[in-house]
Amino acid sequence: MTDDNFVNISGGNVQGFIQENHGTVTQNFIYQVSEWISPQSSGTEQSLNQEEYRQRTVLLSKVKEYWIKGVLEKSLHTKAMIELGLEKRSDAVERPFSGFEELPEESRQILPTGTGATEVFNQIGEGRTLLILGEPGAGKTITLLKLAQNLIARAEGGLSRLIPVVFNLSSWGNKRQTIADWLVQELWSKYQVPKEVGKGWVKNQKLLLLLDGLDEVKADRREACVEAINQFTQKHGQTEMVVCSRIADYEVLSNRLQLRGAIYIRSLTPEQVNQYLDTAGEQLGAVKTLLTEDTTLQELAKSPLTLSIMTLAYQGKRVEELRQTGSVEARREHLFNSYIERMFKRKGVNQQYPKDQAIHWLTWLAQRMSQASQSVFLIEQMQPTWLQTKAQDRLYRFGSMLVGGLLIVLILWPIYACDPLRQYGSSAWAKIMDSPFKGELFPNALRLGLVLGLIFGWGKAEIKTFETLTWPWKKTWKDLFSGLLSGLKLGLIFSLILSPIYGLLISSRVSPFDVGTVFANYGTDLPGLKWGIGYGLSLGMSLGLTLGLINALKGSEIEAKTIPNQGIWRSAMNVGVTGFINWLIFVPIYWFYTRLIIIVYKEWIFKISAWGESSLVDLITPGLRWGLMLGLIFGGGLACIRHFTLRLILHRNNYIPWNYARFLDYASDRIFLQKVGGGYIFVHRMLLEHFARMNGM
């Protein structure tokens, strides 16, 4: 007998987490080791190189840490367990051989007591796929996670085993994409798996997919999601998969999943509920008394989730306090409200925020997550679509321009100040300090700041983080060559823009010229024309090589640890790294260009500036200037500036606190949320839906 069909229910003074079917739970059950029924995966043990082995190990570790240790095990720390009954539901899925359908009495069978989801899954055989159905709060997610726990243990024992990974389908409906593309994106955003690695795993069918929350996909996209899963299984026939869904939301669909088996988690029986309440003691005596006469409460108690909430919200209450009238929905609302009140009174948790304010922030978060079909919330993945009005959206764009422009000014002003310091020595500082706004230092920085600031607020407002950097040599040379080709194209564009400007400005400083003659000769006699062409080419090649190198450096290594808002912090760190790399590229290219200019125009170069005397050292500050600007734009700075602006607007409108991670940790301590890696989930979707219906402050 396996334990993956047991659900934990809490009683007495036990504190714990509520997830899909759990909460605080009591336990007088000794954990049994699951029986491994299925044989080894097909194929011999494969040899993996060091990088592949580490990638596999890190992903397994993350799934185990996030979902087993972070969610499942925190529901397993009390004194009793209620065994969930399973029912075979073959008619819920579309079989490949429809001409050999089972008889009605065979397609729906109550499985023997003690049969767990792991046993059912293993019995299907190689290429196994399974659908898990149940009522809200019946235990679908916990059943899935217990199956995941067994599969992880199996995968750790052999390199040929598939890697079990938990996903939530709720995010699939946000973009029209195939399941394969969505999996790659989710691996990257939730588990920090580089997209190239994720593509290889999906293509080579190395993953065992545990897909929760089909019912959480937006209703108008649910049919398309089923079709997408079916198309994926047809194309990836050896990929093993488990899908979970609420039964009512699944049965209204016109299409059926093409899977090899289905089970339904049965509701708790009155005998199971009474047996649990007997073990809970006097603190739930009022609930037990009321259950004998209150049919609405009896209906609620059939769900392991609501029964576990009762043990927290109603412990120590008198019958008179609990006696209510109304529909099941009204009683459920009262139950969740009582739970929220009880959690704010938990002992041992500091009251860091006023209760009404905390409820307001949780309500807003639940509404946004529900609107965006999100199950896991990551701070760095907040997008401007969460803004409520057009005025806020305009403020976000303008604010991004302003913050980006000011940041450029603050960075460039001291760099510009280094030029006179280098030329005139320490006495230049007195000149700068006497008239900082009258010279060319601040105006130059301001002009560039205003122009580049437009980039931060222009175009798509989506925030994309830039997190990992590595140095894969083979990929680096390939991307550098691609960047060089792109740089030549950019250089031609810059040359077309800069050549007439430099042609007129520089030529006018060398010697007078007749405008009519210039147009008659198509400007070929302007000495500054070639200067502008060369400058444009050097600038374009520097930019192209920089972008090629940045693309090559985007990590192929899986991050071993995650913290809240890690994506933004990593992006901020990578601004400096990419800025330094840009500087190393720009200085030698620009120096080589200046040497060519001096050779070609030696007779007049000294007439316009002392540039001809410049050395490689003299190009350090221009290189630093361009390096930092390109780092800000392409190396993660854009994401940081937009994220900061968005957070500032949301905070000023009282949608979120300034220190969001600290508040989310506080909500986790109150058992409203639960941490999953660097993200957060509501302890159950029903609680999220309850908060989303609330009005907040």
Say what the pLDDT of residue 361 is.
97
How sure is the predictor about 98, in pLDDT bands with cuts at 50, 70 and 90?
A: low
Give ∠ CA 595-599-600 in degrees, rounded to 5: 115
Query: φ and ψ at 180, to 5 degrees?
Result: -60, -45
pLDDT tens across 643-697, in order?
899 999 999 999 999 999 999 999 999 999 999 888 999 999 999 999 999 975 5
How sure is the predictor about 193, in pLDDT bands with cuts at 50, 70 and 90?
A: very high
What average pLDDT does the segment 581-593 reach?
A: 68
Contact (CB, 8 A) for 210 and 148? yes
Instruction: Give me the architecture of the 49-265 domain, per CATH.
Output: 3-Layer(aba) Sandwich (3.40)
In 67-144, at which residue ranges do the beta strands (DSSP E only) sit? 81-83, 86-89, 108-110, 129-134
C-alpha span between 15 and 26 (Å, rounded): 10
The residue type at 226: V
Provide the 10 A C-beta neighbour count for residue 497. Answer: 12
Say what the pLDDT of residue 232 is.
97
Say what the pLDDT of residue 292 is.
87
pTM here is 0.75
Say what the pLDDT of residue 414 is.
65
Is 90 exceeded by the pLDDT of residue 392? yes
Say what the pLDDT of residue 548 is.
65
Tokens of 122: 């293993």
Is 60 exceeded by the pLDDT of residue 224? yes
C-alpha span between 334 and 599 (Å, rounded): 85
pLDDT tens across 249-284, in order?
999 999 999 999 999 999 999 999 988 888 877 888
Is 80 exceeded by the pLDDT of residue 638? no
Contact (CB, 8 A) for 6 and 265? no
Say what the pLDDT of residue 95 is.
76
Say what the pLDDT of residue 279 is.
80
Is 90 exceeded by the pLDDT of residue 228? yes
pLDDT tens across 442-457, in order?
555 555 555 555 655 5
**Among 116, 216, 229, residue whose Cα is nearest residue 177:** 229
Is 70 exceeded by the pLDDT of residue 38? no
Give domain limits for the chain.
Answer: 49-265, 268-345, 359-383+639-696, 393-638
Is 90 exceeded by the pLDDT of residue 490? no
C-alpha span between 128 and 150 (Å, rounded): 15
What average pLDDT does the segment 382-410 reach?
A: 84
C-alpha span between 327 and 450 (Å, rounded): 60
Lowest mean pLDDT among 255-259, 419-423, 562-566, 588-592: 419-423
Say what the pLDDT of residue 519 is.
40
Say what the pLDDT of residue 532 is.
58
Say what the pLDDT of residue 251 is.
96
**Among 215, 211, 227, residue whose Cα is nearest residue 177:** 227
Say what the pLDDT of residue 362 is.
98
Tokens of 147: 């199956």
Is 80 exceeded by the pLDDT of residue 641? yes
pLDDT tens across 61-90, in order?
999 999 998 888 877 433 346 789 999 999
Contact (CB, 8 A) for 71 and 94? no
Contact (CB, 8 A) for 553 and 469? yes
Query: φ and ψ at 395, to 5 degrees?
Result: -65, -35
Say what the pLDDT of residue 640 is.
83
Say what the pLDDT of residue 183 is.
97
How sure is the predictor about 554, in pLDDT bands with cuts at 50, 70 and 90?
A: low
pLDDT tens across 315-367, in order?
888 888 888 767 888 889 999 999 999 999 887 667 789 999 999 999 999 99
C-alpha span between 318 and 500 (Å, rounded): 88
Query: φ and ψ at 325, to 5 degrees?
Result: -125, 165
Mean pLDDT computed over every residue of the chain: 76
Contact (CB, 8 A) for 350 and 341? no
Contact (CB, 8 A) for 136 and 265? no
Three-class DSSP category at 679: strand
